[in-house]
Structure 1
Amino acid sequence: MHRTIFTTPVINSLLRAGSLAFLKLKGWKIDGSLPPGQTKCVLIAAPHTSNWDLPYTLMVAFALRLTPYWMGKSQIFRWPFGGLMRWLGGISVNREQSTNLVAASAEALLAADGPVQLIVPPEGTRSKTRYWKTGFYWIAHTAQVPIVMAYMDYPRKLSGLGPVFKPSGDIDADMLAIKAFYAQFKGKNWQQFDHQ
């Protein structure tokens, strides 16, 4: 995986201190941690309902000492912001040619020579959506890595890492269990988020 803001010495330490200070100032509480030795996983990022989710997610990642990568539509990786987006951990995805996205993402996870937490918003969009996309599930299942259920609850100003979930291959049963966990959280524009 390419170098990011999270793996750049000195800058990483400064931004972690700044993130902790900003989150404390705004009244946010951070909870949870990766299990010891869990270097590779898929992080569900939910609920995803606002542009504010990205900066808050990055700050929480600094606070929890994560090394996250995230997937974004290819348009945001164009000049002049492409280099910055990649440095922030972004991986460009062409949604018009994403038929092999699961396999490519799983392969990248397995090939990475260091800790990688791949952040995938299950809704796939900030717009109101009724059904979750299942790419995050199949990436984890294909790579044989666990899913860590990350959350952000704006009304309670609470964010962090929830339980570790190991995909069984029975996606219907597993998705019911995953969505049951997320039923307690509300995004910034919570009316756009549907747990079904």
Structure 2
Amino acid sequence: MKWQVLGDKLPKGGNFLTRHMGRVIFRVFDWRVEGEFPNRGKAIVALVPHSSNIDFFLTIAFIWATGMKASFLIKHTVFWYPLGNIIRALGGIPVDRSQQNGLINDVTRQFHEKSKLILGITPSGTRRPVNEWKDGFARIAAAAKVPVVPAVLNYRTRTIRLAPLIEGVTEVRQIMNRVRAEAASGMPRLA
């Protein structure tokens, strides 16, 4: 598989070793990426469907393989020593979902303050199948006026498909509906 050369607006991270490790992981487990990541300095990546802890490792392998610097929201309960330090180094941002702590405002402010920020979020908020997604990712995108990149996992074909960019949409329901439409082509990990 030929890997995308990142555009000049995307935040860069990692080094030769991490890029090589990420690509080896994709090769060994026979996964591939379809599509290219848009050349935007700021974006929310909506990873769908989220059905397994393996999704996390695929995401890290993708970040490493491309040389992109990205952050992701992850539940605070995994931030115990020493795992928490590792997850932070990988770009993890702890989220306490039981608290009404203004997370949307905090993340929106980070998008306004930083010149470059790629943030991965799983709209379902859990690995269990759910009928309703959490709308936080769409609310952040609308408030911060940043595009959304649907990243659709398909465990049957072993692909991560980078769907067309959702840009210029400020209505939360529209953003969610467009990501959900792209997610229909995904296939969760079954047991």
Same fold (TM over 0.5): yes
Q: Give distance in 1, aligned partners of 2:153 and 2:169.
A: 25
CA-atom RMSD in angstroms: 1.8
What amino acid is aligned across from residue 94 of structure 2 in structure 1? S
Within-5 A mapping of 1:47-86:
47-86=49-88
Q: Give distance in 2, aligned partners of 1:187 and 1:67.
A: 26
Contact 1:40 1:117 (C-alpha < 8 Å) held by counterparts: yes
Structure 1 gaps, min length 5:
1-5, 191-196
1:168 aligned onto 2:174: no
Within-5 A mapping of 1:18-167:
18-36=21-39, 38-113=40-115, 115-166=116-167
Contact 2:13 2:69 (C-alpha < 8 Å) held by counterparts: yes
Taking a change above 3 Å as real, the CA distance of residues 162 and 64 of structure 1, as seen in their structure-2 partners, is: farther
Q: Give distance in 1, aligned partners of 2:82 and 2:185.
A: 39
What amino acid is aligned across from residue 111 of structure 1 in structure 2? E
Classify the secondary structure of the residue corresponding to 1:164: coil
Contact 1:109 1:116 (C-alpha < 8 Å) held by counterparts: yes
Contact 2:142 2:171 (C-alpha < 8 Å) held by counterparts: no
Query: Of 4, 7, 10, which aligns to 2:13?
Result: 7
Q: Give distance in 2, aligned partners of 1:17 and 1:81.
A: 23
Contact 1:137 1:167 (C-alpha < 8 Å) held by counterparts: no
User: 1:75-108: CA deviations, max 9, x gaps?
Assistant: 1112232211100110011212234111101111
Contact 1:140 1:167 (C-alpha < 8 Å) held by counterparts: no
Q: TM-score, structure 1 length as denominator? A: 0.84
Contact 2:35 2:163 (C-alpha < 8 Å) held by counterparts: yes
Contact 1:48 1:126 (C-alpha < 8 Å) held by counterparts: yes
Taking a change above 3 Å as real, the CA distance of residues 7 and 98 of structure 1, as seen in their structure-2 partners, is: farther
Q: For this pair of structures, how many residues does the alignment match?
A: 180
Q: Give distance in 1, aligned partners of 2:155 and 2:187.
A: 6
Q: Give distance in 2, aligned partners of 1:72 and 1:98.
A: 16
Q: Give distance in 1, aligned partners of 2:13 and 2:177.
A: 35
Displacement of 1:47 in angstroms is 0.7
Taking a change above 3 Å as real, the CA distance of residues 77 and 167 of structure 1, as seen in their structure-2 partners, is: farther
Q: Percent identity?
A: 27
Q: Which moved more, 1:97-106 or 1:82-91?
A: 97-106
1:180 aligned onto 2:186: no
Taking a change above 3 Å as real, the CA distance of residues 160 and 65 of structure 1, as seen in their structure-2 partners, is: farther
Q: TM-score, structure 2 length as denominator? A: 0.86
Displacement of 1:124 in angstroms is 0.3
Displacement of 1:14 in angstroms is 0.5
Displacement of 1:143 in angstroms is 0.8
Q: Give distance in 1, aligned partners of 2:161 and 2:113.
A: 26
